[in-house]
Amino acid sequence: MQLPHRLSRFVLFDRVGQGGMAELFLARFQSELGADRRLVVKLILPMYAERPEFSEMLVTEAKLAATLTHANVVQVLELGREEDRLFIVMDYVEGFDLAALLKRCSKEKVPLPPEFALHIVTELLGGLDYAHRKKDDQGRPLGIVHRDVSPSNVLLSFDGEVKLCDFGIARANDWATEKGEEPSEAIKGKAGYMSPEHARGEPIDGRADVFAAGIILWELLAGRKLYRSDAGDLIAQARAANVPELPSRGLPDESRLQAIVKKALSPERDERYATAGEMQRDLRAWAAEAGLVANPIKLGEWLTEHFGAELLEQRRAREQAAKALDRIPLKARVLMTPEPPRITYKDEEPESLAPMDLSPPSNVATPAPPAKRPPWAMLVMVAAAVGLVAWLLSR
């Protein structure tokens, strides 16, 4: 697909990732009064969108997701179909998913402070608890279960927000398996965050999401993956649910923290936290007593300081280039230079995560890496190309 591309009322200008079921694009929407808004469009792959049974299931799930309005949940704004493609429009969270953040931390040797790890998980649990308790207009529980709580679905903004996404598409992973189809590599990778009952194909409830949140907490504290691909089939490891003891990190009252993690990761669901809210309360209380409390402002400043400048500069450059192209007649775009390289933030999680920063939160912050030169050359090239096309059209 050539970008920018108009889809319904939206202009897709940057392809930022692809999963097992869909492509992900950044898009612009302009209201009748001229107000610009950036959104995310999840474009379902043709092999799935063309199948009526899948489409019906996805639309039903996405409609439920659209009822969720919470600070820790990405809002689903619209469902549509155009050009035989099914798409979902969601709020744009400018930043990283947790998987991409961990990869960048590991690559650049920047430790993730423990107070931020705890803050991310407590906020994630808040979104899950809200969704699990959601009721319809008649007061009946909707029975929403995310089914795919994993680092790639936890979004972190440069304002310090923590939001869980993909409530509307998560059940598609199970749909492919139920139909006896060979799941894609992207779907297989999600097994690393499955509860044992989910991996066995049994009916699940909100406690499966609690187990997945427990895995994320274990990994952030341990600094490595719980289930490793080099140790055998991930689904088999998830079924067995052999969870090692959380390594000691010298944190205050660590036995209490280990007990929280152990309860969340109990192989027997009846021995787990009954709700995400219960786990959130215990984790938040321990963090407060241990002096490891963070807030969105601190998290946002840390993300921006260490990782934000280059990503924001490059994304702004691509958006400006897309706006310039959008003003040129389609027949003239063949004279333009090829679109610039894109940054994908839906990266695979590394097997070994970045070491945790165990210094007290009051200590001096880790120095930011040297500022990198912004990609001004790309903007100059696009501006020159726009001027050339305008001159050619005027002749």
> Tokens 């790309």 appear where?
378
CB count in 10 Å sphere of residue 55: 15
Exactly one of 14, 148, 166, 282 is catalytic; which is it? Answer: 148
Measured CA to CA, the distance from residue 354 to residue 115 in angstroms comes to 15
Handedness of CA 136, 279, 217, 190 (dihedral sign): negative
| CA pair distance 43, 81, nearest whole angstrom | 9
User: What secondary structure does DSSP assign to 135-170, as a single string?
Assistant: B-TTS-B-----S---GGGEEEETT--EEE--TTTT
Written as six digits, the tokens of 378 are 């790309």
148 is known as an active-site residue: yes
Chain Cα centroid distance, residue 47 = 23
Judged on CB neighbours under 10 Å (0-12, 13-18, 19+), 370 is exposed
Q: Render 197-259 in DSSP notation, one character per residue.
A: HHHTT----HHHHHHHHHHHHHHHHHTB-SS-GGGS-HHHHHHHT-PPPPPP---TTHHHHHH
Rg of the chain (C-alpha set):
22
Residue positions annotated with a catalytic role: 148
